[in-house]
């Protein structure tokens, strides 16, 4: 693990200028996975040089793939083809990354070799039965530790069978796991999701020449299709932009432009929710790259009002709730989130950890099993000390609270910010936050 352990944020400030946040984490993972399975060389630009995506990259090197980079976001992958991976010599370490572990479980289930996937203290607490159960229905031999937790032991089975499966929870990781296993399965794999989740796997498989069909909430593909190498341009991560969208909204006199932000409609719940609350976010320029839409976004300060967050936005903003809770605390009136129990099984229990942190900064909250009620007073925060529980998004969300605090905010256990946002401190300071490693 690298990065600064604690942050200290001096109160006040405003955000301005033009910034480009690092590359999209979800798309970066998938570029390594699909580039490795393709025939030919895949060039990636804008790759996220954060610890999670680097964990995926190192795993594919252990599986025998020649990957050059990253060098300023450029990565060159010499694909080995669908059946070209080789047995790893050691345990595959996914670090903090649930995406690595869950997607790899599917991709590795149909190989001719065995492997073991593990991770850090946070990842080994996270639920893996959600992938192990449907993979077993496909004929995979996947064992978890007690209570369905990592490590995962996978005995390769090149005879997987396609399945028709309805996900019990809205999870792009589980959907993607099954689609990747489906590439190795006989026949068709059909995955139906209870609510639409991010569709980067489907889009990128299509860019690599695989036929993937979507009908409503179902996605289907036939096994045995080969992937053709391509060029992947990774947009800036809207989940990393989220902290700045909230910061510039809540800090008076802010006017900030975020460039190259991925605005895939399965990821833009943050924009819809902030706009419903009264935020001033405009699209300055919009274009497409590699099947994904991008935009430059301009955000200016505005007064927010509390809202009941519409259920349809929950999976489309699932990683942005820590930042949205900080916005809600500055709004006038009550904000209610329900139907978001998935937040409890992220890198931390994001409902409880955010509730504790908001209370520590003087905000009234009520904890629900599947959400949170925040009593916005239209004011800001007291100073105080926050424990981020090693969760990158909690740390960065509370960093933005400093913009509306009356005294310094100290945030503990921030080293994992490097999993998704290398250079966060420098970029936040460049934009106007008075934040320091402590
Ligand atoms: C991701 C899916 C989401 C999200 C995670 C990245 C992905 O997880 O929270 O940060 O890349 O597919 P779930 O599938 O568990 O909702």
- Write out pLDDT tens, residues 332-389: 999 999 999 999 999 999 999 999 999 999 999 999 999 999 999 999 999 999 999 9
> Which entry of 237, 296, 319, 387 is annotated as an active-site residue?
319
Cα–Cα dist 423/434, whole Å:
15
- Give, for all 438 residues of the chain, the pLDDT tens digit: 457 899 999 999 999 999 999 999 999 999 999 999 999 999 999 999 999 999 999 999 999 999 999 999 999 999 999 999 999 999 999 999 999 999 999 999 999 999 999 999 999 999 999 999 999 999 999 999 999 999 999 999 999 999 999 999 999 999 999 999 999 999 999 999 999 999 999 999 999 999 999 999 999 999 999 999 999 999 999 999 999 999 999 999 999 999 999 999 999 999 999 999 999 999 999 999 989 999 999 999 999 999 999 999 999 999 999 999 999 999 999 999 999 999 999 999 999 999 999 999 999 999 999 999 999 999 999 999 999 999 999 999 999 999 999 999 999 999 999 999 999 999 999 999 999 998
Q: SS3 string of the chain?
A: CCCCCCEEECCCCCCEEEECCCECHHHHHHHHHHHHHEEEEEEEECCCCCHHHHHHHHHHHHCCCEEEEEECCEEEEEEECCCCCCCCCCCEECCCCHHHHHHHHHHHHCCCCCEEEECCCCHHHCCCHHHHHHHHHCCCEEEEEHHHEEEEEEECCCCCECCEEECCCCCHHHHHHHHHHHHCCECEEEEECCCCCCCHHHHHHHHCCCCEEEECCEEEEECCCCEECCEEECCECHHHHHHHHHHHHHCCCCEEEEEEEECCCCCCHHHHHHHHCCCEEEEEEEEEECCEEEEEEEEECCCCECCECCHHHCHHHCCCHHHHHHHHHHCEEEEEECCCHHHHHCCCCHHHHHHHHHHHCCCEEEEECCEEEEEEECCCECCEEEECCCCHHHHHHHHHHHHHECCCEEEECCHHHHHCCCCHHHHHHHHCCCEEEC
| 25-233 homologous superfamily | Enolpyruvate transferase domain (3.65.10.10)
| Chain position carrying tokens 């980067």 | 200
| CB contact at 8 A, 206 and 291 | yes
Residue 319 annotated among the catalytic residues of the structure: yes
Q: What's the pLDDT at 1?
A: 44
The tokens describing 144, both together, are 């978890």
Distance CA 86, CA 391 (A): 33
CB of 176 shorter than 6 A to ligand 1: yes
Q: Quote the CA–CA distance of 231 and 208 in Å, as a whole number.
A: 9
Buried b (16+ CB within 10 A) or exposed e, 311-322: eebbbbbbbbbb
Ligand 1 contact via 26 beta carbon (within 6 Å): yes
What span, in angstroms and rounded, lies between the C-alpha atoms of 347 and 417? Answer: 11
Choosing from 32, 56, 173 the residue with most ligand 1 atoms within 8 A of its CB, the one to mutate for a pocket test is 173
Q: Tokens 């639409």 belong to which residue?
A: 196
Tell the residue number behind the tokens 């449907």, with chain if given: 134
Quick: pLDDT tens for 140-151. Answer: 999 999 999 999
Model pLDDT for residues 29-40, shown as the tens digit of each residue: 999 999 999 999
Q: State whether the beta carbon of 267 lies less than 6 angstroms from ligand 1.
A: no
Q: Quick one: which atom of ligand 1 is closest to the CA of 25?
A: 11
Q: Give the ligand 1 atom nearest the CA of 29.
A: 11
Ligand 1: nearest atom to the Cα of 172: 14
Contact assessment for residue 400 and residue 323, using Cβ atoms and an 8 Å cutoff: yes
Instruction: Please tell me the residue having the least CA distance from ligand 1 atom 11.
Output: 26
What order do you get walking across the sheet with 371-377 strand by strand? 332-337, 371-377, 364-368
For residue 318, the CA-to-ligand 1 centroid distance in Å is 8
Q: Which of 140, 141, 223 is nearest to 186 (CA)?
A: 223
Nearest Cα residue to 156 out of 196, 96, 104: 104
Residue 218 burial by CB count (10 A; 0-12/13-18/19+): exposed, middle or buried?
middle
331 in Cβ contact with 376 (< 8 Å)? yes
Q: In what order do the strands lie in the sheet with 164-166?
A: 164-166, 188-192, 218-222, 212-215
Tell me, which fold does domain 7-23+235-437 have in CATH?
UDP-n-acetylglucosamine1-carboxyvinyl-transferase; Chain (3.65.10)
pTM of this prediction? 0.98
Q: How much distance in Å is there from the Cα of 350 to the middle of ligand 1?
A: 14
Say if ligand 1 is within 6 A of residue 319 CB: yes
Instruction: Delimit the CATH 3.65.10.10 region(s) of the chain.
Output: 7-23+235-437, 25-233
Contact 356, 348 (CB under 8 A): no
**Ligand 1 pocket, residue 42 CB under 6 Å:** no
Ligand 1 in contact with 342 (CB < 6 A)? yes
φ, ψ (nearest 5 deg) of residue 233: -105, 115
What are the Cα distances from residue 302, in Å, to 47, 245, 332, 358?
33, 11, 12, 21
The closest-lying atom of ligand 1 relative to the alpha carbon of residue 169 is 16
């Amino acid at each position: 693990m690298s990065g600064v352990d604690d942050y200290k944020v001096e109160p006040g400030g405003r955000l301005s200028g033009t910034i480009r946040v690092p590359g999209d984490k979800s798309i970066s993972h998938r570029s390594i996975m699909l580039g490795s399975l393709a025939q030919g060389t895949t060039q990636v630009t804008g790759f996220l040089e954060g610890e999670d995506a680097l964990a995926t990259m190192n795993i594919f090197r252990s599986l025998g793939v020649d990957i050059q980079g990253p060098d300023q976001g450029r990565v060159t992958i010499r694909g080995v083809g669908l059946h070209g991976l080789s047995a790893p010599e050691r345990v595959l370490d996914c670090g903090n990354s649930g995406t690595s572990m869950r997607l790899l479980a599917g991709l590795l289930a149909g190989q001719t070799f065995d492997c073991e996937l593990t991770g850090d203290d946070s990842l080994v607490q996270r639920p893996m039965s959600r992938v192990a159960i449907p993979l077993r229905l496909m004929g995979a031999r996947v064992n978890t530790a007690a209570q369905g937790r990592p490590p995962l032991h996978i005995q390769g089975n090149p005879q997987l069978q396609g399945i028709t499966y309805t996900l019990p929870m809205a999870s792009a990781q589980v959907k993607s796991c099954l689609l990747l296993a489906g590439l190795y399965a006989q026949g068709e794999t059909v995955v139906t999701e209870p609510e639409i989740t991010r569709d980067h796997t489907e889009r990128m498989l299509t860019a690599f020449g695989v036929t993937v069909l979507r009908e409503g909430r179902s996605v289907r593909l036939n096994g045995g299709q080969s992937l053709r190498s391509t060029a992947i341009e990774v947009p800036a991560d809207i989940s990393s932009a989220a902290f700045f969208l909230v910061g510039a909204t809540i800090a008076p006199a802010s006017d900030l432009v975020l460039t190259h932000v991925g605005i895939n409609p399965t990821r833009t719940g943050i924009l819809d929710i902030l706009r419903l609350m009264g935020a001033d976010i405009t699209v300055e320029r919009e274009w497409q790259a590699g099947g994904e839409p991008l935009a430059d976004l301009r955000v200016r300060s505005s007064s927010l009002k509390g809202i009941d967050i519409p259920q349809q936005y929950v999976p489309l903003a699932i990683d942005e709730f820590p930042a949205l809770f900080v916005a809600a605390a500055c709004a006038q009136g009550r904000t209610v989130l329900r139907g978001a129990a998935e937040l409890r099984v992220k890198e931390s229990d994001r409902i409880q950890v955010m509730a504790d942190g908001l209370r520590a900064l003087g905000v009234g909250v009520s904890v629900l099993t599947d959400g949170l009620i925040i009593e916005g007073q239209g004011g800001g925060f007291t100073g105080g000390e926050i424990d981020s529980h090693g969760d990158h998004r909690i740390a960065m969300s509370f960093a933005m609270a400093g913009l509306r605090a009356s005294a310094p905010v100290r945030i503990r256990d921030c080293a994992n910010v490097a999993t998704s946002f290398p250079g966060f401190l420098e970029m936040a300071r460049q934009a106007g936050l008075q934040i320091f490693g402590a």
